[in-house]
């Protein structure tokens, strides 16, 4: 898919403030600092579209970006960052859970995990919560540039094995790097296919 245009629409503090248009929507979720905002910038080819930072907890609101005037990319706050979630009773903040459970336009959620790490409990719990809520998702490994090819292949295979201990089937899996652009075309082509099937 070719990105002809990408622009910021709005930041929302809750789902009911999100754009009313009935367009296909793809949101990025994962632990703070995993690379959600960076990946949105790489996918769109617009470096400064979503704000990024080496300090976790940068994205605090639901940010909508409109792409090619006919679908949305959504940058969500991260989870698992102690300073941010301390006041919240749940591990996954109200803003995230409300969006995931109530945003009818959500076509697919991309769950990002850092490919360098062992599967983390919080991500596995989040994936389980998605399964229970019946939210369609794909798994996106980030920061692939930080590993050798061998380590990359073995970490991805290990993650899949862990998932298959609880899931009968694997979700779609993408391996990406916002540094090098690895996985960008695959991800955009996947979105393109889904867009064609959304009524
Ligand atoms: P929050 O908004 O705080 O939840 O973080 P985020 O998930 O949006 O992460 P963000 O995109 O702000 O990136 C966090 C840090 O990781 C930044 O310093 C990025 O430059 C770095 N980073 C993100 N993606 C990659 C990648 O693919 N490769 C490398 N080497 N660094 C990356
Ligand atoms: Mg962010």
Per-residue pLDDT of the chain (199 residues; tens, 9 = 90+): 999 999 999 999 999 999 999 999 999 999 999 999 999 999 999 989 999 999 888 788 999 999 999 999 999 999 987 554 455 445 678 889 999 999 999 999 999 999 999 999 999 999 998 998 899 999 999 999 999 999 999 999 999 999 999 999 999 999 999 999 999 999 999 999 999 998 6
What does the pLDDT read at residue 87? 53
pTM score, whole prediction: 0.94
What does the pLDDT read at residue 90? 59
Show Cβ contacts of residue 67 under 8 Å, excluding neighbours closer than 6 positions: 3, 5, 6, 44, 73
Q: 40 alpha carbon to ligand 1 midpoint, in Å? A: 10
Alpha carbon distance 187, 37 (integer Å): 15
What does the pLDDT read at residue 85? 47
Residues bordering ligand 2, an ion, CB closer than 5 Å: 36-37, 58-59
Q: 197 alpha carbon to ligand 1 midpoint, in Å? A: 31
Report the percent of the chain where pLDDT is more than 90.
82
The DSSP symbol for 72 reads E
DSSP 3-state of 8: strand
Residue of 178, 184, 187 to mutate, ligand 1, most atoms within 8 A of C-beta: 178
What does the pLDDT read at residue 25? 98
What does the pLDDT read at residue 61? 92
Which residue puts its alpha carbon closest to atom 23 of ligand 1? 35
Superfamily of domain 6-197: P-loop containing nucleotide triphosphate hydrolases (3.40.50.300)
The pair of three-digit structure tokens given for residue 12, joined into one six-digit string: 């929302």
């Amino acid at each position: 898919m070719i990105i002809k245009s990408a622009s910021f629409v709005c930041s929302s503090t809750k789902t009911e403030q999100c754009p009313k248009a009935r367009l296909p929507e793809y949101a990025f979720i994962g632990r703070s600092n995993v690379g959600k905002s960076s990946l949105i910038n790489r996918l769109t080819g617009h470096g400064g579209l979503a704000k990024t930072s080496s300090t976790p907890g940068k994205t605090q609101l639901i940010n909508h970006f409109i792409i090619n005037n006919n679908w949305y990319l959504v940058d969500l706050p991260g989870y698992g960052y102690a300073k941010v979630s301390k006041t919240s009773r749940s591990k996954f903040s109200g803003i995230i859970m409300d969006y995931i459970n109530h945003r009818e336009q959500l076509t697919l959620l991309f769950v990002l995990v850092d490919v360098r790490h062992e599967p983390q409990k919080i991500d596995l719990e989040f994936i389980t919560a998605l399964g229970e809520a019946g939210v369609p998702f794909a798994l996106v490994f980030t920061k692939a540039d930080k590993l050798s090819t061998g380590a990359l292949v073995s970490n991805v295979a290990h993650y899949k094995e862990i998932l298959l201990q609880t899931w009968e089937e694997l979700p779609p899996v993408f391996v990406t790097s916002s540094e090098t652009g690895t996985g960008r075309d695959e991800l955009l082509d996947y979105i393109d296919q889904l867009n064609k099937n959304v009524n």
